Structure 1
Amino acid sequence: MLRLIFFLVVCTFVGVRSANLETVSDEDLINLIKTEKYVVVLFTSRDCERCNNFENKVILLREDLVDSLSAWVVRVVDSQLLRLYSTDKEPALVFFRHGIPLLCDGSLNEEEILMMFTENKEPTVKELTDDTFEHLTQASSGATTGDWFVMFYSTDCVECVRMIARWEAVGAKLKQKVNVASINKYTTGASTARRFNVYEAPEFIFFRHGKMYRYQIPRYDINAFVWFAKDWYKNARAETVPVPQSPFDDLVQMIANFLHEKPWVLKLGSITIGVFIIISVASRFRRKIQTSQKKD
């Protein structure tokens, strides 16, 4: 009898450990992200062996994630939402903290995933504005707040939205080494964007010891950004960080940027001025002819 009870307990335990993750729809996932503090989501697809292997990895972590974070651990199959968080195909593991996504590097093992999530329960990327940028970064003085890796973004930029989860992962990997931040180039960070001649979004600039290095590598994956901040920036052109602009200088830069982004305005203005000059000259010439005819 005792052997039978023991066998049933073991079978139950094994069944629980090997069971699949709870599957939710995209709509249910959106509701979870909105209402729950911590949500761990595995994006998977049907008939995908890599997905099954990754799911087994997450299943082994599920109990620890629930115990340490009180997190919901679910999966979605063939989700349309994945494109918002990753450029890769399934599988992908995303950790939502207060709705902010953190994309997990697929090469991590179970222990590294658990450590990454528990050490980054709060968003890692700092939000900067025109009012806080220089005070927090001390970019032009190269003083005591350390190195900063900043993403200039805009809310109407699809690539910027897709960068959020990856940029959070960059912040997690560079934690305690580099400050990772973001700033809206069109609203609360418009003046700062003009200061650094940022025209496109997203654009990335690494600030270190009074110098700035533009990230111009055509790769937007997590490891490429981390590698750049740790060492590769030395291969980029070092620029002296410009000092904060006066209101007048900022206005001049705003006009210059506007003309740079909308060159047709300058062309239209040139055409308008040209037409005005032609009309003015023609008008004067006509008046001279009329005056001459009156004298005759």
Structure 2
Amino acid sequence: MKLIPLVIFISSLLIGTTYSVEIEAVDDSDLVHLITGEDNVIALFTKSNCESCDELETILENIQDDLKDHLSAIIVKSMNSHMVGIYNPSKEPALVYFRRGLPLLYHGPITEDDIMHTFGENRDPVVKELSDNNFEHLTQAATGATTGDWFVFFYSNDCVICQRLYAVWEAVGAALKRRLTVARINRSEYGIATAKRFNVRESPEFLYIRQGKYYRYRLKDYTPKSFIEFAQNIHLQKTKPEAVPPLSSPMNDFLNDNVKTILDHPQLYSYGIVGIAVAGLTALLCKFLCSKKATKNAEKKKAK
């Protein structure tokens, strides 16, 4: 009879024990195939002899069934992947949530609840896409009116660093979305006028816009932690604010471009002065000749 309570106790322990299933391992070619498809994919980038990698993997194993159920996501891991640098400048471990190909780098405490909450709250892209047509309307940068603060990433298609910051920038957006709006704009295509307005000449460049002023992010640290700290009032302490330039008309752009060209090429100023002088003298000579001809014609009429 004494064996019965022991059997019951052991059985209860076995029933209450949960067994985590190892995460499916894929190589880079398999991963590319997955993230370019229509499925949501959560990928763990890990490597050998990495204690923090093992810790994150264990946590992900414990919640992978919940992630599959709530996010309809495929959970995989990639060991010593050559692709990790595309999504995380800090390399392994990196946890990336691909929402139909759009990557979000996880940035936060390594706990089951935090990972579930972050991914659950960001099933859709967080970062807003801006253009010359909607920039002022959405940001109200010049007036500092009702749309709050904006953190804007200026990128271009030929910028390799920019391409590697999409997942990072989504992480920044996810972390700050209840505080401000995180956006991006293609300075070489749909944001040419806006880039010129803010004197943005290179990619990447980041501007924090607040209450009619903006702050340039001048650090070369492109990690979520650095961007988030900058946005959390660090910019007020370490960066000199600049007044948001007013919207310019096409005529002002034309004049400003020509003035800038002259300032950049002083010799053009001399050529311009000479050109104006020649044009003026030509006009005076034409006026003189026309006047002289008119006088002769008048004299001929009188003679008749």
What's the TM-score bracket when you normalise by the shorter of the two chains?
0.7 to 0.9
> Contact 2:89/2:222 (CA < 8 Å) preserved in 1?
no
Question: Is the contact made by 1:199 and 1:257 (CA closer than 8 Å) also made in structure 2?
Answer: no
Q: What are the ranges of 5 or more consecutive residues in structure 1 without an aligned counterpart?
A: 274-296
Distance 1:33 1:180 in 2: 24
Is 1:147 matched up with 2:146?
no
- Tell me which residue corresponds to 1:122: 124
Is 1:250 aligned to 2:253, yes or no? yes
Aligned residue in 2 for 1:32: 34
* Structure 1 residues 154 and 253, CA gap change in structure 2 (3 angstroms): farther
* 1:106 positional shift: 5.8
Aligned mates of 1:257, 1:149 — CA distance in 2? 28
Structure 2 equivalent of residue 157 of structure 1:
159
Q: Does 1:173 align with 2:175?
A: yes
How far apart are 1:14 and its partner, in Å?
4.4
1:149-184: CA deviation from partner (whole Å, max 9, x where unpaired): 000001111111111111100000001210000000
- State the identity %: 44
**What's the secondary structure of 2:165's corresponding residue?**
helix
Unaligned runs of 5+ in 2: 1-6, 272-304
Judge conservation of contact 1:194–1:253 (CA < 8 Å) in 2. no
Map of 1:291 onto structure 2: none
Counterpart of 1:54 in structure 2 is 56
Contact 1:38 / 1:72 at 8 angstroms: preserved in 2? yes
Separation in 1 of the partners of 2:23 and 2:261? 51
**TM-score, length-scaled by structure 2:** 0.78
- Residues 258 and 35 from structure 1, CA distance in 2 versus in 1: closer, same or farther, beyond 3 angstroms? farther
Q: Which AA in structure 2 matches 1:198? A: V
Partners of 1:259 and 1:107 in 2: how far apart?
54
1:246 Cα deviation from its structure 2 partner: 1.0
Q: How far has the Cα of 1:129 moved from its partner?
A: 0.2
| Partner residue, 2:83 | 81
Match of 2:240 in 1: 237
**Whole-Å Cα distance in 2 between the matches of residues 155 and 198 of structure 1?**
15
Closer, same or farther: CA 31–232 of 1 in aligned 2, 3 Å: same
Deviation at 1:66, TM superposition (A): 0.7
Alpha-carbon separation, structure 1, partners of 2:191 and 2:49? 45
- 4+ runs deviating over 3 angstroms: 251-260
Instruction: Write the letter of the residue equivalent to 1:242.
Output: P
Asked if structure 2 preserves the Cα contact closer than 8 Å seen for 1:149 and 1:178, the reply is yes
Superposed, 1:1-296 pairs within 5 Å as 10=14, 14-15=18-19, 17=20, 19-105=21-107, 107-235=109-237, 236-252=239-255
Residues 36 and 242 from structure 1, CA distance in 2 versus in 1: closer, same or farther, beyond 3 angstroms?
same
**Separation (CA, whole Å) in 1 of partners of 2:119 and 2:30:** 22
Contact in 2 for aligned 1:147/1:179 (Cα 8 Å): yes
Following superposition, the deviation at residue 256 of structure 1 comes to 7.6
Cα contact 2:155–2:184 (8 A) shared by 1: yes
TM-score by length of 1: 0.80
CA contact (8 A) 1:152 1:204 kept: yes
Cα deviation, 1:261-289, whole Å, max 9, x if unaligned, reads xx8xx59x88xx8xxxxxxxxxxxxxxxx
- Bigger radius of gyration, 1 or 2? 2
Give the distance between the partners of 1:89 and 1:37, measured in 2 at CA. 24
* Cα distance change on mapping 1:239 and 1:67 into 2, 3 Å: same
Distance apart, 1:91 and its partner CA: 1.1
- State the Cα RMSD in Å: 2.9
Range with bigger deviation, 187-196 or 96-105: 96-105
1:35 partner SS: coil
How many aligned residue pairs are there?
262
What residue identity is the alignment partner of 1:184? N
The farther-off stretch of 123-132 and 102-111 is: 102-111
